Amino acid sequence: MPREIFDSQLAAAFLGLGYSLSYQGLVKLLLGEEIPKDETRSDWLKRPLTDTQLQYAANDVSYLLALREALWEQLKSKDVLQWFEEECVSQTNLATEIENEESWKISYTMISNAWKLDDGSLSRLREICYWRELKAREKNKPKNWIAKDNDLFNIASIKQDLGTFSSADLESITFSDRRFIGRYGDEILNLLNNPSMQQICVDRSLLNFPLRPALRKQLKACQSVVSSLAEKLSVAPELLARKRLLQNLVRDYESFGELRWEGDLSGWRKELLEPEINPLFG
């Protein structure tokens, strides 16, 4: 794991240039240089690589130092460099956490509507989410390229009265990618029909249950504060506090009777948000 990073996309968010501005867009905006993307889908397995492929690959790194210098100066001028550096440290810590296998075993808790499933279906969701984490690393692909959240939820939701899952059960689902069954159907069936599936325990307290009406009102008030403050500071509102962070803050207040400025809401976010949000929960 790297000990120190400079995330150019994150820097752009702190400067109000957009929350997910691409490298190509950032280079054009700050350095005035056009990076052609014609070779993105060319055959990178074929050898030798063409001159245009080599130039494409070089462009992906050749502007980084100039980009860093331009962003660094703007971060200093805006007086947000310390916040940015804190967030870069947070990103390296998050990467370490993501690579902890124990966190893969509770990745099912991040699936929307998982709370709707009974314990048996939730156990299936837990195992196929864990399978997806392993498969993504095996294939070196983003996990949503392996399977979409909604597809995993639909697999876990299959009602099975006969005790054995079949290909027909999977074929009854309309998958986001029609090639899913051909690629992974056998693996999924073996997983679903594994006798040990019945012994798997799930922790429902980790699930994101819907907020009560009163808490939804408080959440909207928090979002309004974040939106106004982000506009005032000229930073991306998603950077300041995404919806999930605010939901967790509201849930903590209901559970513990106080706002807990921990984890991603500590540090510079707490410094900015606590004075504005605390009065909403007086």
Question: Do 123 and 91 lie in a common domain?
Answer: no
Kindly tell me if the per-residue pLDDT of 144 is higher than 80.
yes
Tell me: the pLDDT tens digits for 245-258?
999 999 999 889 99
Q: Are residues 12 and 91 in the same domain?
A: yes
Instruction: Report pLDDT for 279.
Output: 94
Model confidence at 132, in pLDDT bands (50, 70, 90)?
very high
Q: Using one digit for the tens of pLDDT, what is the confidence trace for 3-16?
A: 889 999 999 999 99
The answer to whether residues 165 and 230 belong to one domain is no
Two structure tokens written together for 95:
């990467």
Tens-digit pLDDT profile for residues 145-171: 999 999 999 999 998 776 789 999 999
Residue 64 has pLDDT above 80, yes or no: yes
Q: pLDDT exceeding 70 applies to what percent of the chain?
A: 99
pLDDT for residue 199 is more than 80: no
Same domain, 43 and 111: no
Mean pLDDT, the chain, whole residue set: 92
Q: Is 31 in contact with 63 (CB distance < 8 Å)?
A: yes
Instruction: In whole angstroms, give the CA distance from residue 108 to residue 111.
Output: 6
In a domain, 47, yes or no: yes
pLDDT (average), residues 115-135 = 94
Tell me the C-alpha distance between 276 and 107, whole Å: 32
DSSP codes, 47-94: SSPPHHHHHHHHHHHHTHHHHHHHHHHHHHHHT-HHHHHHHHHHHHHH
> Residue 87: which of 242, 261, 269 has the closest Cα?
269
Say if residue 191 is in the same domain as residue 227: no
Query: The domain that contains 63 carries what CATH number?
Result: 3.30.420.10
Domain count, the chain: 3
pLDDT at 1: 77
Q: Has residue 91 got a pLDDT over 70?
A: yes
Q: Is residue 1 part of a domain?
A: no
What is the structure's pLDDT at 198? 66
* pTM of structure: 0.82
Cβ neighbours, 10 Å, residue 179: 8
Q: Are residues 183 and 223 in the same domain?
A: no
CATH number for 247: 1.10.150.80
Q: Is the dihedral of CA 120, 122, 128, 133 positive or negative?
A: negative
Range of the domain at 85: 8-98
- 198 or 92, which is more confident: 92
